[in-house]
Structure 1
Amino acid sequence: MNIGELAKRTGLTASRIRFYESAGLLRTVARRPNGYRSYPPETISALELITTAQQVGFSLEEIRVLLPDDARAWDRDALLQALRRKVTEIESLENRLAHSKTQLLGLMRDVQMRPDGRDRVADAQRVLSRVFGKAG
């Protein structure tokens, strides 16, 4: 199939498909006598795997390492290890985000409750000292 048909069937642009090819994520594509690329049907599956992997956070380099030359040659252990590593990265990110959220909510409370008798400069110093981790 030509690149236009492949683009239509996958929802990707032709330039995105060419990018994946130049990045080494697609096997070398045969060229017709007129110079046009001719993609085999399994390219659709490869592109679906690439886009799904990107959507869940895999980098192109990580995908390149995991994609087999032949779909029958998947290295199941390497794939499982990469998936576990990605889940660990996501859990770490979730923990960092939860911590950041807690800090931001605390700062919001500090900004909202201005102690009586403090002027704006003192109040700003109090909040900023909390932002920068100093005792306030």
Structure 2
Amino acid sequence: ARRQANGYRSYPEEAVLALRLIATAQRAGFSLDELRQLLPDDLEHWQHDELLATLRSKLQSIDLMLAQLTKSRAELNELIAQIEARPEDMDCASNARRVLSQMRLLGQGDEAGEPDQPRS
């Protein structure tokens, strides 16, 4: 990049385009390492098919993440509703047992036949 008389740098349009692409890709979830492997040093050497395949793969990952987040959100909302639905004559410990029992039953319905997986 050339320096102007005022000390500012002047970048070619291609460099500005590349920076915008990098910023957009980072917002979409790409790491700098992923981008480094994906993007060539200049626009003349882009691997069109590889780029499209990688972008489609990232979309699939985002869709899976969205589905999991949507499920987690619904489960948390249900948990909140169960906790808030405590009968007035029930103490907190009894309510906790009630909620845990209901969660266990709901978990069995969602994962029919699947053993509990340990979380890391």
Report the Cα distance in structure 2 between the residues aligned to 1:47 and 1:107, rounded to whole angstroms.
44
Report the Cα distance in structure 2 between the residues aligned to 1:5 and 1:83, rounded to whole angstroms.
35
Tell me the amino acid that sits aligned with residue 74 of structure 1: W
Tell whether 2:108 aligns with 1:134.
no
SS at match of 1:134: helix
> Of 110, 121, 125, which residue of structure 1 is paired with 2:82?
110
Tell me the amino acid that sits aligned with residue 134 of structure 1: R
Higher relative contact order (CA 8 A, sep 6+): 1
> Of 118, 121, 129, which residue of structure 1 is paired with 2:93?
121
Q: Deviations over 1:19-78 (max 9, x none)?
A: xxxxxxxxxxxxxxxxxxxx7513222211111110111111110011112211110001
Runs (4+) off by over 4 Å? none
> Of 5, 8, 15, which residue of structure 2 is paired with 1:5?
8
Q: For the aligned residues, what is the CA RMSD?
A: 2.4
TM-score scaled by length of structure 1: 0.64
The count of residues paired between Structure 1 and Structure 2 equals: 101
Tell me the amino acid that sits aligned with residue 81 of structure 2: R
Q: Matched residues, percent identical?
A: 39
Report the Cα distance in structure 2 between the residues aligned to 1:124 and 1:49, rounded to whole angstroms.
50
> Of 43, 51, 55, which residue of structure 2 is paired with 1:83?
55
Tell whether 2:99 aligns with 1:96.
no
Structure 2 gap ranges (5+): 107-120
TM-score scaled by length of structure 2: 0.72
Report the Cα distance in structure 2 between the residues aligned to 1:115 and 1:104, rounded to whole angstroms.
20
* Residue in structure 2 matched with residue 52 of structure 1 by the alignment: 24
User: Are the counterparts in 2 of residues 107 and 130 from structure 1 also a CA contact under 8 Å?
Assistant: no
